[in-house]
Structure 1
């Protein structure tokens, strides 16, 4: 028999604070920079209430795993399926095909309770791409559902074999998760944010508070003070923690312990503070908090592009009001009937409906992904541009021969055609894919001048002697081979270029490499960063074409790292005695505004690599500069729109 928990008004009040913090933060309330910690409040509340029920039923011998998951499904699934389905319908009409495909993939993972894993791999919660993901907020549902796949079994095992060990098991796991979260936060912040092992301590704080034997204050004075202090800690976290804070980690203890303190204080005491927290208005928002949480983020995502010029205050007020209305409708007509009316929705209907709902969502997502976001609904010219995301890049880079990747061509040896022809003046390209894409243009310019060209390039390989690239181990052998060959054969010129020369360590190692080459009598040319965008260029161009935006310059879509690297390298190489620096941006991007399409063809097929049209536009002027041209006379400067 299910152990029904008594109603706790002050916990609904805490839910209200949590959900309103999240909603206001997402709708742009700058005065609440840490509103996102409302999710942490939810985790503690969930851990407390659900654990308390599990403990009671397990002690009585009435716990049923089927009954437990039936209650979870009644609570979670109806609103999840309805909100996801409505969001999917709207997404088909409002999202561009690549965004729709991303949405569909996130829907599959979310329907399988692993949305947090998908978003860990794909999204920065605080980054600009987050506002293109209507289901990003489902990450927290994934964490909870994964926790409750494991936790009931853990409790049952403890009760069966070592009942007295349960507090120590929960305490040990709590501490281990917290320590792991703090440690991982330093090396992989996204993992600490999204993944269960590093968030489990928040739910376990609630589970620890619910343990049999925990004493709660009965004094109104003590209980009221605890509730006030706990709510104060939560509100302080919302006001003082920011997106730049190292979160979650130890800092998450502020809202989590504040929530636990408020629950503890109001559990068995009656005070003015407790009654205020559990008063009518907070109870309303607490009751609809789950549905309100589900509906608010899709509204944020869909409303921003629909109303780009909307006043921030109107967006905040209007968005919160619309979310509240839709959240109430979902609670009243979706959540409540399934939870309360067991005659119409018995267990078999709940289980069957869960499977059917998930199957429908996954089927829709599969069809959408297979159809590439229904590109056929777009005009032919837009489809043509969008298709360039599948551009055959291998010929441009000479992939697998002179451009090496893991498992392609070995770590040290290059194909014979990558070496300059003996007996002729030679120029060698040494670096990453950002330099490899210039080969064809440089080879054409070199041939006209009687030079032979060599190409020593690899994926993410910076041309720095002694620099170890852990993600791309082949670079060690490639760089060793390049330096040995260059010092032995002494070509007339070496052109160096990479995609991440942005740190003082990089520049110091680059100077050491340059010094060795110039000491051998080799002229050194260093290329600056190439245009890089925040997402694939064809997607940006196609969206602008679809929305009839005539501006095909990168603008705000340029990756900020490009300008950081450009400034750093320009300053570093000003008056450099051993190398000539060529700025790609100054040579080819008028007023630093880089074109993304020329003559109806996108210049890049992803966020940072050129199509043949891009090679023609960007690389040919640079080839002339490498052999002694100048910025003012470059074809790009004359032809730029």
Structure 2
């Protein structure tokens, strides 16, 4: 394919949108659509290469694979190796092992399968995953594996016309599938090839169905297409279910720009041409920098973000000139494929070996000793736990008669120490991670939904017949169940509407929450604990990186306003329950949020196990909250 400056400029728009979105710059809330634009560009170029080769009778499948390997693998392998060294020195052991696993998935182009899978309750947020951005490379590579074979078969048996008709049908089916799957499993739709293929084929159809446009028409197409992309970047956000039908806007925008094929100021802009040239390497390097700033709590710092963006382009330029541009095609495609396969196996092998060695011989990482994750289990009380059908933490805490019952999700377990610090008797803990205190609800994770509903119903039935008069303290990680982001399988909904959101969701949640609390409060005093502040990342990891790399030990915190805003709807439900069910409400914020800042650490010591579960250091600050419960 001949070089087209308009497509190179479009690459620049795509990568800048993605980079600025990931670094959290305002106005670029929909910058993730840059990946969709990349898919369209890739489909156009690959279709052109394959179809021209087939028409001229010189297309080689091995040479195509070798060419794609030369384009993708060298820069990816170097980035992976650099992260491997960084992680070996600076990351906590389990994070380093997760990084090594991610590197293997990325080098073998299967990371999208990993990210589309179900994550555990304590798994690190995706924003802490150093290899998250490689999902799109995996999707593209899978497309490269299948697409040329499909076109070869279609071209041989159906001819050029058959190729065009079949690709239109496949694109339509993929789009329909994307819209359908996005509505009930947006995570799968986001990461997987069958629901993304239509975007790449859309680019291919531009090549297969060319338009003869005048210069004025071409410029109109270009302006209209760029407008569609910029509208998507400005008005869309990550809270939308994606890709689905909304992805048509940036995809059609990219299609129009490619159709325009205009020699305009846009396509001739030198800066855009330079950024487009290094766009792949910039994409590779920007995300690890985002994760670093995120984990250190620096994504809110203008200086840190500016430095991170600048460094993304500097590293991208180095990667392009020192790695990408140095790779040339060998005479033998088979030899070239062998070379890159050896690179992949070598880096993946070194990654596995280093992860294994770090686990077996932790001293080899000296003097970069990690501070370690705080203990989740409290040292303040003994506990005896009982087997159950729900995989819940059903335990007796402390000694003597049970004087209080702690009921809820994992926050009931992680905050138990604060209660027991002032409780002279025993407590009964009923805690099932990921389960809202609701009797009737639906959840994206259907297996967990069944377990949670059975767990809550079982405990409500037990309380109806026993433990009369014993105080009940209810804990919930409320924002987890009301968060409407696309990758949250814990989000609840009602009336069978998996896409429920906004006021309808909040109204139904309040109604069901009040109903459940009122049923619990029939024979006993009930205390509802307002939400514990949630940090934006795992606190101890941020402290680790701050100390090791930046030489700082600044405490991590969020603003009280941010905490209040995040939990607005949860607090409305709690207030309504207090009014309707005659229960009392306990608020952790005055104890954890002095001077308008909610602390994630205090004097360099983490108060959380991760980003939302308190440990003993945090519970020490909270103990006075529960004095009236056990008095």
Interval containing the TM-score (normalised by the shorter chain): 0.7 to 0.9
In the other structure, the counterpart of 1:255 is: 250
In the other structure, the counterpart of 2:323 is: 334
Q: Within 5 Å, give how 1:437-452 maps onto structure 2.
A: 437=414, 448=425
In the other structure, the counterpart of 2:511 is: 508
Query: What SS does structure 2 have at the residue aligned with 1:526?
Result: strand
In the other structure, the counterpart of 2:172 is: 175
CA drift of 1:153 comes to 2.4
In the other structure, the counterpart of 2:38 is: 42
Considering Cα pairs closer than 8 Å and 6+ residues apart, tell me whether 1 or 2 has the greater RCO.
2
Q: Within 5 Å, give how 1:145-164 maps onto structure 2.
A: 145-163=141-159, 164=161
In the other structure, the counterpart of 2:584 is: 580
8 Å CA contact 1:491–1:522 kept in 2: the answer is yes
Of 480, 498, 501 in structure 1, the residue corresponding to residue 457 of structure 2 is 480
Q: Within 5 Å, give how 1:268-287 maps onto structure 2.
A: 273=264, 277-278=267-268, 282-287=272-277
In the other structure, the counterpart of 2:281 is: 291
In the other structure, the counterpart of 2:189 is: 192
- The 2-side partners of 1:591 and 1:580 are apart by 25
Q: Within 5 Å, give how 1:9-408 maps onto structure 2.
A: 9-23=5-19, 25-26=21-22, 30=26, 32-59=28-55, 61-90=57-86, 92=88, 100-120=96-116, 132-163=128-159, 164-211=161-208, 214-217=209-212, 219-244=214-239, 247-266=242-261, 273=264, 277-278=267-268, 282-299=272-289, 312=302, 316=306, 323-339=312-328, 342=330, 346-370=332-356, 371=358, 377=365, 383=370, 385-388=371-374, 398-401=384-387, 405-406=390-391
- The 2-side partners of 1:483 and 1:307 are apart by 41
- The 1-side partners of 2:146 and 2:236 are apart by 31
**What is the count of residue pairs matched by the alignment?**
592
The superposition leaves residues 469-498 of structure 1 with CA deviations (integer Å, 9 ceiling, x where unpaired) of: 641423333333333333233611241413
CA drift of 1:307 comes to 12
- The 2-side partners of 1:322 and 1:444 are apart by 48
- The 2-side partners of 1:289 and 1:332 are apart by 12
8 Å CA contact 2:471–2:525 kept in 1: the answer is yes
Of 483, 495, 498 in structure 1, the residue corresponding to residue 475 of structure 2 is 498
- The 1-side partners of 2:559 and 2:125 are apart by 13
* CA gap 1:181/1:455 in 2 versus in 1, 3 angstroms: same
* CA gap 1:292/1:461 in 2 versus in 1, 3 angstroms: closer
In the other structure, the counterpart of 1:634 is: none
Query: What SS does structure 1 have at the residue aligned with 2:472?
Result: strand
* CA gap 1:132/1:61 in 2 versus in 1, 3 angstroms: same
The superposition leaves residues 150-190 of structure 1 with CA deviations (integer Å, 9 ceiling, x where unpaired) of: 22222233234444543333222222322333344444444
CA drift of 1:575 comes to 5.5
In the other structure, the counterpart of 2:432 is: 458
* CA gap 1:95/1:183 in 2 versus in 1, 3 angstroms: same
* CA gap 1:550/1:216 in 2 versus in 1, 3 angstroms: closer
- The 2-side partners of 1:465 and 1:20 are apart by 46
CA drift of 1:42 comes to 2.0
8 Å CA contact 1:495–1:527 kept in 2: the answer is no
8 Å CA contact 2:295–2:542 kept in 1: the answer is no
8 Å CA contact 1:396–1:612 kept in 2: the answer is no
8 Å CA contact 1:425–1:492 kept in 2: the answer is no
- The 1-side partners of 2:245 and 2:196 are apart by 11
- The 1-side partners of 2:287 and 2:25 are apart by 14
Query: What is the Cα-based RMSD across aligned positions, in Å?
Result: 4.5
8 Å CA contact 1:40–1:252 kept in 2: the answer is yes
Give the structure with higher Rg (CA): 1
* CA gap 1:401/1:245 in 2 versus in 1, 3 angstroms: closer
CA drift of 1:538 comes to 3.8
Query: What SS does structure 1 have at the residue aligned with 2:135?
Result: helix
The superposition leaves residues 511-535 of structure 1 with CA deviations (integer Å, 9 ceiling, x where unpaired) of: 334444554x433333333454444
- The 1-side partners of 2:322 and 2:417 are apart by 63
Q: Which runs of 5+ in 2 are unaligned?
A: 480-505
- The 2-side partners of 1:130 and 1:611 are apart by 23
- The 1-side partners of 2:326 and 2:61 are apart by 23
- The 2-side partners of 1:20 and 1:158 are apart by 37
8 Å CA contact 1:462–1:498 kept in 2: the answer is no
- The 1-side partners of 2:274 and 2:627 are apart by 69
* CA gap 1:561/1:189 in 2 versus in 1, 3 angstroms: farther
- The 1-side partners of 2:212 and 2:166 are apart by 25
CA drift of 1:584 comes to 3.6
8 Å CA contact 1:178–1:249 kept in 2: the answer is yes
8 Å CA contact 2:182–2:189 kept in 1: the answer is yes
1:624 maps onto 2:627 in alignment = yes
* Farther-moved stretch of structure 1 (200-209 vs 546-555): 546-555
- The 1-side partners of 2:461 and 2:412 are apart by 20
8 Å CA contact 2:415–2:613 kept in 1: the answer is no
Q: Which runs of 5+ in 1 are unaligned?
A: 629-641
CA drift of 1:287 comes to 3.5
